[in-house]
Amino acid sequence: MVGNHKIAHIELPVDDIAKAKKFYEAVFDWEVTLNTGFDDYAFFKESDDGIGGAFQKTEKRLNEEMILYISTEDIGKTFEKIVAAGGEIVQEKTKISDEYGYYGKFKDFCGNIMGLWTRN
């Protein structure tokens, strides 16, 4: 793989975060953190070396699938490449927090919505 464009985060839309916590901890033994500082968010990590993610409480979903986040050094430059390749920006670069960095979302050429994430 060239560059730093690794899968960084997975976001699962749920309608009940407490039920999601109970289910995924029971079934997969994931560690789920409810008090994240974000009302509609609970972080999970399935192992120390695996990919983490979050459950996002939402009633209206962008799409009916989980959102995969790809790490990048520069969201703006990556967005330029996405548009040049026939993709579309769905959500501009948005600050999560000083601790968690920034994210943005895009739609690929066949309509899949995915995210980008960076610390900067």
Distance CA 93, CA 55 (A): 20
pLDDT in tens, the chain (120 residues): 456 788 888 888 888 888 888 888 887 778 888 877 887 888 887 666 667 888 888 876 655 677 889 889 999 999 999 999 989 999 999 999 998 899 999 998 878 898 999 999
Say what the pTM is: 0.68
Q: Which domains does the chain have, with CATH numbers?
A: 7-118 (3.10.180.10)
